[in-house]
Chains A and B, each alone.
Chain A
Amino acid sequence: MVQEQLRKEAARLLREGEVDVFIGYARGSLPAQSTVVFARSSEDAQELVFDPTCHPNLAVYLPRFKKERVGVVVKACDARALVELIRERQVDPDKVLAIGVECPGVIDRDRWEEGMSLDDGEWKEALAVACEHCRLPAVDLFHCWLGEKKVAVEEADAQVSSSPIDEDSEERYRWFSAEMEKCIRCYACRQACPACYCPECFTDRSHPDWVSPVHEPPEAMLFHLVRTLHLAGRCTDCGACARACPQNINLLALHRRMEAEAVRRFGYLSGQDPDAPSLLGSFSKDDSDDFIK
């Protein structure tokens, strides 16, 4: 069983000093909710669990560890985020041991109903949106892989969920405004996102104050649009932002749209190979330029 193998291997890594800390999931205090554990001994490793409640993307914690050697359990989506962190020199691949796990998809707690069983397929009713489009990173960067390595790879173009983001501009603006009305600017999306590692976000600047602290939709729009642009070619569609959002904002529609643009215009798919050049950091004479008028 994946969970047993995971505990055993994490305990071994800690005991034999191959890693200083192992980041994984542990049983949470609520149904359908896991929590995060930073195991530092082989005893701590016995707390590790892996099941569909393990929804946060643990790659988000990796840039915090500059000196220690870190073990981490990664689902396919977390691994794609790790690829980006390595590419962007936020994580030293020599200091990270990633244990890949076969993931059946994770639960979105907003879709979950009390009493849904984790053992049979019942929980799939609450499957997170991002999990409908799972794909593995192409490069094998794992220390080891537990379970089968069988993940459907979807055409990235097909990944734009049907949302009014593709409608005519008026309908699209109505939809976008309604989504932004919900935002309370708690920044849970940014904090849960492995690609949002800036030590100082533009929203945290007061000189100049790019975003006003006033709680109004235009400010939320500015934040989300800038975040989406900053994630162009970097978002790996893990959906951690959407699951962290307490207001159920459809953030994936924004990010998937951006991802689809990268694929359509530049044939670029993020999270595949840490040695490949980044989308924004590379240039080719053949790049599409039909949007330049």
Chain B
Amino acid sequence: MARFLARSALDEVLARLARSYHLHWPGKLRGKTGYIPWQAGQESMLDHNPDATVKELFLPRTEVLMEFDDGQEKTSRPLAVFGVRPCDARAVHLLDRVFVEQPPVDGPYQERRQGALFIGMACPQPQMTCFCSTVGGGPFDTVGLDVLLTPVDEGWVAEAASTAGEEYLEQEAWPEATKEQQAQARAEKDQARAVAEEVELEGLAKKLEASFEAPVWERLHEKCLGCAVCTYYCPTCHCFDVTDTDKARLRTWDSCMFPLFTLHTSGHNPRLSGKERMRQRVMHKFCYFPLRLEDHACVGCGRCIELCPVNLDIRQVLAELGGCL
């Protein structure tokens, strides 16, 4: 049953969520936007897909993997994210495949992921950089979501996308969405354009597997500056580094675009230049991941396209690699 969440009831709903969950939603973060802890009275930024991705909540930039026991018991509420876009939710679903759905299970990730509630915001107006439909998602996709909200007049039509979502909606008992509201939500969905279908990914993984040594890589990487904007802003990139300090063992984000990422103790570096590093990034997303886990490790959120200092557009890279042939 579709329910209706009135805009006027939003504050109360969020306050209730925050009692049982460590609630996050889109807001201002480090001079840009990201998912921030919800506090009463904050300005709503639900119309905006944040610059920083939701992965930070589950895979923080820096986390302590082990530390000396300080004897204090640690308790925490599960995470909830209100207003997450379908692309970011899909990304967490992909991270689950890596960190919990195959052995060995990653403890710290699983701990954060356990019981987390994703209340998603449908995306009726995708940006020029969006291409979620190309990689199997869509502006109304519910993969990874518990509840999907679709903006209508005065509020949102809410539909459960999982058992946890059903339970949550049951417990909230918002009024049933009227026929008009449901029709409006349906119309939004129908008119939402499929985003950037011009790149054909069918069969690309196999093609890429056979083209590791192809000369095209020589040219493709040429304009890449070798920074980590694309990887750090990617909701599915999850490579990390582990460092020991005198107090703890830390896990921090790392990027395959950095030479240090693959530098051996001997001084040898198997990915010597930008060519090898960029090839790895593309291969991981569109070859290795799909061949092993049957999904692209890209959700088409377009952040890497929007932020690349030299406009190295992954859609064009895929097209050039034969995705559209």
Contact = CB atoms under 8 A, between A and B. Distances in A.
Given A191-B227, A247-B32, A213 B252 contact: yes
A182 B32 contact: yes
Nearest to A216: B62
A244 B260 CA distance: 21
Interface stretch (B4-12, B111-119, B312-320): B312-320
Contact of B243 (A36, A38, A200, A213): A213
Contact of B227 (A33, A188, A216, A249): A188
Q: How large is the interface on B (under 10, 10 to 19, 20 to 34, 35 or more residues)?
A: 35 or more
A214 B311 contact: no
A214 B227 contact: no
B30 A60 contact: no
Given A29-B315, A29-B316, A60-B225, 10 more contacts: A31-B128, A36-B310, A38-B222, A56-B309, A186-B255, A200-B259, A213-B250, A215-B61, A244-B229, A248-B31
B35 to A, nearest CB: 15
Nearest to B316: A29
7 contacts: A30-B129, A30-B306, A38-B219, A61-B223, A181-B30, A200-B259, A247-B30
B227 A212 contact: no
B80 to A, nearest CB: 24
Interface in B204-261: 219, 222-223, 225-229, 232-233, 241, 243, 245, 250, 252-255, 258-260
B305 interface: yes
Given A191-B226, A204-B258, A214 B309 contact: no
Interface in A79-107: none
B112 to A, nearest CB: 17
Interface of B: 30-32, 51, 61-62, 128-129, 219, 222-223, 225-229, 232-233, 241, 243, 245, 250, 252-255, 258-260, 263, 305-307, 309-313, 315-316
A190 to B, nearest CB: 7
Contacts of B219: 38
Nearest to B230: A186
A244 B225 contact: yes
A186 B228 contact: yes
A61 B221 CA distance: 12
Contact of A213 (B129, B226, B254, B307): B254
Contacts of B31: 181-182, 247-249
Q: Chain B interface secondary structure, helix, strand, loop or mixed? A: loop
Nearest 6 CB-CB pairings of A with B: A244-B309, A188-B227, A215-B61, A35-B311, A191-B225, A36-B223
A37 B219 CA distance: 10
Nearest to A214: B62
B311 A29 contact: yes
B32 A192 contact: no
Nearest to A181: B30
A34 B311 CA distance: 7
Contact of A204 (B51, B62, B259, B307): B259
A97 to B, nearest CB: 19
Q: Chain A interface secondary structure, helix, strand, loop or mixed? A: loop
A162 interface: no
A182 B30 CA distance: 5
A56 B62 contact: no
Contacts of A36: 222-223, 310-311
Contacts of A216: 62
A157 B84 CA distance: 48
Contacts of A187: 227-228, 258
A29 B313 contact: yes
Contact of B311 (A30, A181, A186, A248): A30
A247 B227 CA distance: 13
A30 B225 contact: no
A246 interface: yes
A242 to B, nearest CB: 11
B30 A244 contact: no
Interface string A31-48: 101111110000000000
A189 B226 CA distance: 11
A189 to B, nearest CB: 8
Nearest to A215: B61
A184 interface: yes
A243 B227 CA distance: 13
A243 B223 contact: no
Nearest to B231: A186
A63 to B, nearest CB: 13
A147 interface: no
Nearest to B261: A204
A17 B258 CA distance: 35
A249 B30 CA distance: 10
Contacts of B228: 185-188
Contacts of A61: 223
Contacts of A247: 30-32
